[in-house]
Amino acid sequence: MKRTLPPEDTPRILFVALGIWAVATVVAALQGVFAKLSLAEMGGLSLFAFVFASATTYLDRSLRDYLATRSTRSYLTFVIEVDLGVAIGTMIALGLAQGRVEAALTSFPLAVVIVFALPLAAVGHLLLAQRLLRRDPVHALRSPVVLP
């Protein structure tokens, strides 16, 4: 009996993984887990999340193949939306902390921005830059120049 692997549904797996990561960071922030960390530990956690997400993006073949089918417009839309989320979350967190920056960095809205949104935004920016740098030059620039 020949065994066949079921087809992988990459978009669904990506959505579920990002959802679990987001929920875990929100719950941890609400429970005060990030408040127990120093700023250096928060930065290290954010850097680890970025490296892990980048490595997953570049090492997982099915994810790479799925992302290759996405349009440049979808990358641009994603980056703009995540950047707006980061900006809004930062403004809300600083407003709630009433100017205490260190307290804001380890509390609910901004801790989620640092551990979830910033690494995700950074990977989105990398993918967008990679897509834009791989594009073909404009056809008009490749046409020969005719001088009178």
Q: What is the pLDDT of residue 109?
A: 82
pTM above 0.85, yes or no: no
Instruction: For residue 73, give both structure tokens.
Output: 């417009």
* 48-52 contacts at long range (C-beta below 8 A, 24 or more positions apart): 49/115, 49/116, 49/119, 50/118, 50/119, 50/122, 50/123, 52/119
Q: What is the pLDDT of residue 16?
A: 93
Q: What is the pLDDT of residue 91?
A: 83
Instruction: For residue 6, give both structure tokens.
Output: 């079921």
Stretches where the chain sits below pLDDT 50 are 139-143
Give domain limits for the chain.
Answer: 10-135
Instruction: For residue 4, give both structure tokens.
Output: 């066949």
Residue with tokens 């997982």: 60
Query: What is the helix (H) or strand (E) element at residue 14, kind and residue range?
Result: helix 10-30
Q: What is the pLDDT of residue 53?
A: 92
Query: Which of 64, 17, 42 lies closest to 111 in space, CA to CA?
Result: 42
Q: Give the chain's end-to-end CA distance (angstroms, integer).
A: 74
Residue with tokens 């205490």: 100
CA distance linking residue 102 with residue 82, whole number of Å: 23
DSSP state of 33: T
Q: What is the pLDDT of residue 137?
A: 52
